[in-house]
């Protein structure tokens, strides 16, 4: 089984509900078992500030899926939620599901880069990840807890647990 961490974010159409629905949808994939779910975190958007705040979370799953098969499943969940892919990387979105870590693998393919390229710079990834995996060491040897203790909080606010199923 593969141990995978997935970042979840939304800032449109009641983001807390979108994140909760995403966790439920991931749990319903027969080849995935959710092992840990972080609290919800509210964060300011990256890029243009003329958009709503984001709601973020991180989950840990176990799956026999390959990285690309998992990516396909996650993109199908995004599409079902109404995600529209645009060229604007930093724009508002109904749902964003990112594979942050896949075991200790380093993946650099056209469709997928793991560890996620920006995770060490994003408080809304590091802090929920540290909540559920405080002893994690990243594939490059960086200690997650050290990274999460150093990062600026940027008004990140913990908002309670996800009620999913």
- Give the integer Cα–Cα distance in Å for 43 and 36: 21
Residue 93 annotated in active site: yes
- Give the integer Cα–Cα distance in Å for 5 and 103: 8
Residue 122 annotated in active site: no
Q: What DSSP line would sit under 42-89, residue for residue?
A: EEPPSS-SSSPPEEEEEEEEEE-S-HHHHHHHHHHHHHHHT----S-T
Cβ atoms of residues 48 and 91 within 8 Å? yes
| Alpha carbons within 13 A on the beta-carbon side of 127 | 21
Choose the catalytic residue: 87, 96, 111, 140: 96
Dihedral angle, C-alpha 63, 64, 69, 74, nearest 10 °: -10
Choose the catalytic residue: 53, 83, 142, 153: 83
Residue 89 annotated in active site: no
Residue 98 annotated in active site: yes
Choose the catalytic residue: 93, 122, 140, 142: 93
Choose the catalytic residue: 98, 122, 140, 142: 98
Catalytic residues: 83, 93, 96, 98
């Amino acid at each position: 089984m593969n141990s995978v961490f997935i970042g979840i974010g939304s800032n449109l159409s009641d983001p807390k509900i979108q994140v909760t629905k995403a966790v439920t949808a991931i749990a319903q994939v027969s080849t995935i078992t959710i092992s840990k779910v972080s609290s919800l975190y509210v964060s300011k958007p990256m890029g243009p500030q003329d958009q709503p705040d984001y709601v973020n979370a991180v989950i840990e799953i176990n799956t026999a899926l390959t990285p690309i098969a998992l990516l396909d499943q996650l993109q199908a969940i995004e599409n079902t939620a109404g995600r529209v892919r645009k060229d604007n990387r930093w724009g508002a979105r109904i749902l964003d599901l990112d594979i942050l870590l896949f075991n200790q693998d380093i993946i650099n393919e056209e469709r997928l880069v793991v560890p996620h390229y920006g995770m060490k710079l994003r408080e809304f990834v590091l802090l929920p990840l540290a909540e559920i995996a405080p002893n994690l060491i990243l594939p490059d040897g960086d200690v997650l807890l050290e990274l999460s203790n150093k990062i600026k909080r940027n008004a990140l606010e913990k908002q309670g647990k996800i009620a999913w199923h």
